[in-house]
Amino acid sequence: MRKFALYGVLIILVIISVGPFLWLLSTSLKGANEPAFQYPPVLIPHQWTLHNFVEVWQKVPMAAYFTNSIIVTVLSVIFNLVFSVLAAYPLARFEFKGKNAIFMMILATMMIPFQVIMIPLYLIVLKLNLVDTHNAVSAYLGVIIPFVVGGFGIFLVRQDMVHVPKQLEESAIMDGCNSFQLLMQVILPLIKPTLATLAVFTFMANWGEFLWPSITLTKPEMYTLPLGLVYLQGAFSANWKLIAAGTILATVPVVVFFLLLQRYFVSGTLSGAVKG
């Protein structure tokens, strides 16, 4: 009975979590003669069609929105991984004065909402001429710079680096490795699951970011996908099938990226690294 109750609760949670997405997918596949809203709700369309996806791709510059979002998100993921590793490495493996104080200050930044620093951050980006520009590179930098590194990424990577066995580090040093070689050849291969986790979190956060791009991007041709979806809703406010199709298209890259990295979400990578 206890297992039955547990599985019952889990099934309810799955329905609550996946239900809206299934309804969205169902709406995007409905034909022209089938209403988007009806009671009782119909989850399986009577007329399956992909015309909504084709129409929304043709009527709205979705390809440009996708390209802009991919460029911004991929660069943000790369910068986050690089800077998080470079900041976490000395905090985890080196001993120097003030290390704990610096780490505490980095953790403190996680408690500050982005809305608090949004105005001064905007003024800085504005002074750097990265707002309201026709230059694609400058526009992308204006969106990316505030998210190139964060306290969460440094904390996540640092916590995993701390648990790398000291014996591996000592053996590498005896073999002639310097600090950079130790990081690249010993530590990074052992923390791949953590890096994959950070990459997924960063990808999801930046792919769905709406507030900051809506402030820094003023040219429609530079819009990212979240801004494009808002335009889609304004252009097709009465046609929820097209809105649903555009939203489904926006979720595909996130799902694909997660599936590509999910094999790294394993535990026990360090188990057995040191024998004896």
Q: What is the per-residue pLDDT for 77?
A: 94
Same domain for 260 and 152 = yes
Amino acid at 56: V
Same domain for 24 and 67 = no
Q: What is the per-residue pLDDT for 269?
A: 39
Same domain for 95 and 68 = yes
Domain that holds residue 31: 17-49
Question: What secondary structure does DSSP assign to 23-75, as a single string?
Answer: HHHHHHTB-TTS-SS-SS--SS-SSB--HHHHHHHHHS-HHHHHHHHHHHHHH
Same domain for 127 and 30 = no
Closest CA to 259 of 187, 203, 181: 203
Same domain for 121 and 25 = no
CA-to-CA distance for 220 and 208, rounded, in angstroms? 17
- pLDDT of 99-154, one tens digit each? 999 999 999 998 988 888 899 999 998 888 888 767 778 888 889 988 898 899 99
Same domain for 154 and 44 = no
Task: Classify residue 237 by its DSSP letter.
Answer: T
Same domain for 170 and 82 = yes
| Neighbour-count burial for 84-121, b at 16+ CB within 10 Å, e otherwise | bbebbbbbbbeeeeeeeeebeebeeeeeeeeeeeeeeb
Closest CA to 193 of 151, 150, 163, 165: 163
Q: What is the per-residue pLDDT for 237?
A: 60
Same domain for 119 and 31 = no
Q: What is the per-residue pLDDT for 235?
A: 54
Same domain for 119 and 94 = yes
Overall domain count for the chain: 2
Residues of the chain with pLDDT under 70: 133, 234-238, 265-276
In a domain, 22, yes or no: yes
Q: What CATH number does the domain containing 171 carry?
A: 1.10.3720.10
- CB neighbours (10 Å) of residue 174? 8
Provide the token pair at 134: 């026709």
Q: What is the per-residue pLDDT for 218?
A: 81
Same domain for 244 and 179 = yes
Q: What is the per-residue pLDDT for 29?
A: 86
CA-to-CA distance for 75 and 79, rounded, in angstroms? 6
Same domain for 245 and 185 = yes
